[in-house]
């Protein structure tokens, strides 16, 4: 599988770096994107960390120590401070599941988790599920099953799916797997393919592209069916 690392933009200004630049200009009232990189003389710096909390946490196996604002959610810590932008912000209110990550092995919503409560915790995000260039079997299954359209909910679906398989809810009835994946919404409604990817990875169904079983008629066949 080819995966372009997020930060590797050899020529020109990458999309992510461009957006980061815009954020710095427009974000006077926001949390700093990266406290260590912020200009010492920037006027907002003093006000922002009004209630600093020191945090030590393991993220994808890496020890992280940071001074953070007490308001920082795990989602914002991942995306804004650590630039781990694989985890997505959907509703930011615990209604969509796009921000699902694992904390101490359990799937949780990072948008409703205050980072300050995670002292000593072990966090796994979508960036931490593959082994180097080797995709996680559920990531492979999402590709095989075409289990997305726009892809925005996909990291949350995969994190939830990995946990769902581990909990033993994905290898029995399809209804059970649907129920235990119901915390992740997909506005493109790729649900049948997401369900197939999760159940195939759990061993409940043979590995195959669900679309391969769809019968497509040629115009001639369709006409002959009508007669």
Which stretches of the chain bind another protein, using CB under 8 A? 50-51, 53, 69-71, 73, 92-94, 97, 100, 106-109, 111-114, 116-117, 119, 160, 163-164, 167, 173, 175-176, 178-180, 182-185
- The least distance separating another protein from the CB of residue 113, rounded to whole angstroms, comes to 6
Q: Which is nearer to another protein, 160 or 200 (CB)?
A: 160
What is the nearest approach in angstroms of another protein to the Cβ of residue 216? 27
N-terminal to C-terminal alpha carbon distance within the chain: 47
Pairing of strands 106-109, 100-103: antiparallel
Q: Pick the closer one to another protein by CB: 14 or 166.
A: 166
State the nearest-atom distance from the C-beta of 114 to another protein, in Å: 6
Question: Least CB distance from residue 70 to another protein, whole Å?
Answer: 4
Query: 106-109 and 62-69: which strand pairing?
Result: unpaired
Distance of alpha carbon 95 from alpha carbon 31, whole angstroms:
24
Angle at which helices 191-202 and 154-167 pack, to 10 degrees?
A: 40
Name which of 45 and 167 has its Cβ closer to another protein: 167
- Are the beta carbons of 7 and 83 closer than 8 angstroms? yes
- CB closer to another protein out of 144 and 199: 199
For residues 197, 213, 149, 143, the Cα torsion angle rounded to the nearest 10 degrees is 50
């Amino acid at each position: 599988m080819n995966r372009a690392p997020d930060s590797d933009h050899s020529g020109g200004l990458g999309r992510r770096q461009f957006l980061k630049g815009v954020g710095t200009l427009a974000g006077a009232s926001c949390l700093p994107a990266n406290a260590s990189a912020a200009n010492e003389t920037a006027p907002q710096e003093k006000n922002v960390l009004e209630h600093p909390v020191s945090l030590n946490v393991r993220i994808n196996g890496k020890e992280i120590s940071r001074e953070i604002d007490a308001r920082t959610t795990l989602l914002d810590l991942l995306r804004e401070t650590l630039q781990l932008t694989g985890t997505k912000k959907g509703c930011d209110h615990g209604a969509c599941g796009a921000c699902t990550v694992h904390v101490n092995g359990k799937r949780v919503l990072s948008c409703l988790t205050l980072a300050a409560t995670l002292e000593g915790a072990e966090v796994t995000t979508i960036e931490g599920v593959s082994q180097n260039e080797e995709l996680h079997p559920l990531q492979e299954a999402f590709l095989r099953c075409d289990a997305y359209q726009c892809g925005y909910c996909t990291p949350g679906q995969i994190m939830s799916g990995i946990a769902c398989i581990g909990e033993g809810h994905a290898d029995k009835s399809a209804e059970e797997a649907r129920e235990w994946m119901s915390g992740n919404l997909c506005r493109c409604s790729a649900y049948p393919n997401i369900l197939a990817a999760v159940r195939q990875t759990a061993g409940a169904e043979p590995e195959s592209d669900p679309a391969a079983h769809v019968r497509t008629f040629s115009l001639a066949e369709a006409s002959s069916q009508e007669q």
